[in-house]
Amino acid sequence: MTYLDFYTNQSILITGGLGFIGSNLARRLADLGARVTLADSLIPAYGGNRFNIAGYEDRVRVNIADVRDPYSMRALVQGQDVLFNLAGQVSHLDSMEDPFTDLEINARSQLSILEACRHENPDIKVIYAGTRQQYGKPDYLPLDEEHLQHPTDVNGVNKMAGEWYHIVYHTAYDLAAASLRLTNIYGPRQLTRHNRQGFIGWFVRLAVEDETIRLYGDGSQLRDLCYVDDAVDAFLRAGASDAVNGQVYNLGGPGPVSLLELANLLVKIAGTGKVELIPWPAARKRIDIGDVYSSSAKIEAVLGWRPTTSLEEGLTRMVAYYRRYREYYW
């Protein structure tokens, strides 16, 4: 049996299920024959979008619930085989302006979810969505899982806490839990309404609208990008494996690319938009973390996962998607 066969007739719960990664994962799971329940608060600024499951409305169950409500979580985890725990506040800017909401969603709520699992369904498997942001400014590259975590914003601190609650519950209560630390995930169904949840979706919107993508400095900062289908594959592999329990894994991209190279490639693919270099604002320069990219060697060794979608192919799919469906995302 392959890791994909594992999901036939399995009961799966996805928190943040109407969001970017959650909806792409839900669609794949439904195709694999799983019984899928999506929990999402549909708070407008956070990325949940009913259109993300267009064509799958009758193949997945949607429960409008907030992870901050412990009673909802206790009911939802009952009878589930795997929980993909993707709900979170992911805006670094918002975490600094409203740190207590970030704390509630990314830290306290994670404890509520884990307590619900411990009391209502101790045999459930939980895969948590961590973030590369937990590392902060790199001491060395590529980032590996042994790199010291020293986050540079409130979001990174709370995501780190949320991740380690999962690991502690594995150690203390034998709950089958693991974390995938995500890098810059991109692709269809990503939030593009504003630029507070990462730069890629916003860059794509600017290019599609024939606007200007503005980069600070010389645009030489390096990043790695992971296409959403590749990220979904990593979650599926992790959810089907006992070898990952109690472990954390980086998900990196195929290789680092400068922001200038990325923006120019995007404009070339779209056939619209342009790129402009502008001076660093003083406030931004102070918090810039320089080059950042991750090693996926650990997860490749354990699960055989590696990103297979090239940046050009992924951006081409993304541009085509938003050209067709922009009215549901703009």
Give CA–CA dist 235/171, Å, rounded.
21
Alpha helices in the chain (DSSP H): 20-31, 70-77, 92-97, 99-103, 109-120, 154-173, 200-208, 228-239, 259-270, 282-287, 297-303, 311-325
Range with the lowest mean pLDDT among 67-76, 223-232, 276-285?
A: 276-285
pLDDT of residue 74: 96
Range with the lowest mean pLDDT among 96-100, 148-152, 250-254?
A: 96-100
Range with the lowest mean pLDDT among 4-13, 86-95, 142-151, 245-254?
A: 86-95
Inform me whether the pLDDT recorded for 223 exceeds 80.
Answer: yes
Alpha-carbon separation of residue 295 from 7, 18, 209, 247, 307 (angstroms) = 28, 29, 34, 15, 11
Section 200-213 average pLDDT: 97
pLDDT of residue 77: 98
For domain 5-186+228-252+292-308, which architecture applies?
3-Layer(aba) Sandwich (3.40)
pLDDT in tens, 60-73: 999 999 888 888 99
Q: Are 287 and 152 a contacting pair, CB within 8 Å?
A: yes
pLDDT of residue 28: 98
Inform me whether the pLDDT recorded for 197 exceeds 80.
Answer: no
pLDDT of residue 235: 98
Residue 244 or residue 105, greater confidence: 244
pLDDT of residue 92: 72
pLDDT of residue 45: 72
* Domain ranges (residues) in the chain: 5-186+228-252+292-308
Section 116-126 average pLDDT: 98
- Average pLDDT over the chain, rounded to an integer: 94
Structure tokens at 56: 């799958």
Give CA–CA dist 65/161, Å, rounded.
22
- Residue 59's pLDDT band (cuts 50, 70, 90): very high
Structure tokens at 39: 């929990």
Structure tokens at 311: 């940046």
- Residue 167's pLDDT band (cuts 50, 70, 90): very high
pLDDT in tens, 70-93: 889 999 999 999 999 998 877 777
pTM for this structure? 0.96
pLDDT of residue 246: 98
Q: Are 43 and 67 a contacting pair, CB within 8 Å?
A: no
State CA 210 to chain mean position distance: 27
pLDDT of residue 79: 98
Range with the lowest mean pLDDT among 21-35, 156-170, 273-287?
A: 273-287
Range with the lowest mean pLDDT among 2-11, 19-28, 152-161, 208-217?
A: 152-161
